[in-house]
């Protein structure tokens, strides 16, 4: 765990049997699932930091069914180098795919619930609870930074990346989940495709687009893991959840940047 630093004093963290300690003696216990709780010092507190539990489970179950497996493969292929950090890793579906011989993979998220699921399922990577704007990772040590469907933190990303390191960014493309939106809304809009501004050199862009056919619980899981679950009138949601099958596009934009 040579990439991790103490969230309080920023000295390197060293793994002991049940905890991680810094040279100043700050100590953080490993949970029974094996993750570390390294929240930001001035972090906002809320009852559910990050996503609520039902959303985490819906996401885990939907991803486990393999509907986003093509994206997972593309992300794994884009990973270079020895130290990989997945920023806002959720339940670790893409993080776990980055594991390889001789590689150290780290994933963090502000949602403890997500990190618990990740650490339970994937024993090869090291997971920790942390915020996006003060990542407890040493300056200039990350070879590949993964950043999928999350708000950007360009300054922190440039701080943790080593010179020549890569950032792999994934955002929804314009037709992502359009079939789902058609089932919910009278006049669905295409997603706006705005490339994030990281202040890094753009290397390559790839689009992955395919059709998914979903049934029953998979439709409910997909709906529950999207922001539409909060924004949709109950009647429209009911109409969707009663559909026997749903055809919808998956549309992802994978962009690679170099520092
Ligand atoms: Zn410390």
Q: Mind listing the pLDDT tens digit for each residue in 184-215? A: 999 999 999 988 899 999 999 999 999 999 99
Please give the distance, rounded to the nearest whole angstrom, from the Cα atom of residue 167 to the centre of ligand 1: 28
CA 26 to ligand 1 center in whole angstroms: 5
Q: How far is the CA of 24 from the centre of ligand 1 (A)?
A: 5
Question: 98 C-alpha to center of ligand 1: Å?
Answer: 29
Rounded to the nearest angstrom, the distance between the alpha carbon of 134 and the centre of ligand 1 is 14
pLDDT tens across 145-173, in order?
999 998 889 999 999 999 999 999 999 99
Mean pLDDT of the chain: 92
Residue 233 Cα to ligand 1 middle (Å):
48
Cα(39) to ligand 1 centroid in Å equals 13
End-to-end Cα distance, the chain: 23
- Answer for the pair 115, 134: CB distance below 8 angstroms, yes or no: no
Mean pLDDT of 24-52: 77
Using the mean position of ligand 1's atoms as its centre, give its distance from the Cα of residue 87 in Å.
22
CA of 6 to the centre of ligand 1 (A): 5
Distance of CA 246 from the midpoint of ligand 1 (Å): 51
Distances (CA, A) of 220 to 49, 64, 179: 23, 14, 14
User: What is 13-258's CATH number?
Assistant: 3.40.50.150
Per-residue pLDDT at 43 exceeds 70: no
Residue 195 main-chain phi, psi, to 5 deg: -65, 135
List alpha helices for 93-233, DSSP H. Answer: 93-97, 112-121, 154-160, 178-184, 216-224, 228-231
Domain positions in the chain? 13-258
């Amino acid at each position: 765990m040579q990439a991790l630093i103490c969230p309080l004093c920023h000295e390197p963290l060293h793994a002991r049997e049940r905890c991680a300690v810094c040279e100043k003696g700050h100590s953080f216990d490993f949970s029974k699932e094996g993750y570390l709780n390294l929240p930001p010092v001035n972090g906002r507190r809320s009852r559910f930091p990050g996503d609520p539990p039902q959303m985490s489970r819906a996401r885990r179950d939907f991803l486990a069914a393999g509907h986003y497996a093509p994206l997972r493969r593309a992300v794994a292929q884009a990973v270079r180098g020895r130290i990989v950090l997945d920023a806002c890793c959720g339940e670790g579906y893409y993080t776990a795919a980055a594991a390889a011989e001789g590689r150290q993979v780290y994933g963090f998220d502000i949602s403890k619930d997500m990190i618990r699921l990740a650490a339970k399922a994937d024993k090869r990577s090291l997971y920790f609870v942390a915020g996006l704007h003060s990542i407890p990772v040493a300056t200039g040590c990350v070879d590949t930074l993964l950043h999928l469907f999350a708000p950007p933190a360009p300054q922190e990303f440039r701080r943790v990346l080593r010179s020549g390191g890569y950032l792999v960014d994934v955002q929804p493309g314009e037709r992502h989940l359009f079939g789902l939106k058609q089932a919910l809304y009278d006049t669905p809009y295409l997603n706006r495709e705005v490339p994030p501004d990281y202040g890094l050199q753009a290397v390559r862009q790839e689009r992955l687009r395919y059709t998914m056919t979903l049934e029953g619980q998979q439709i409910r899981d997909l709906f529950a893991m999207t922001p539409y679950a909060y924004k949709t009138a109950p009647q429209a949601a009911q109409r969707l959840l009663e559909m026997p099958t749903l055809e919808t596009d998956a549309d992802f934009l994978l962009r690679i940047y170099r520092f």
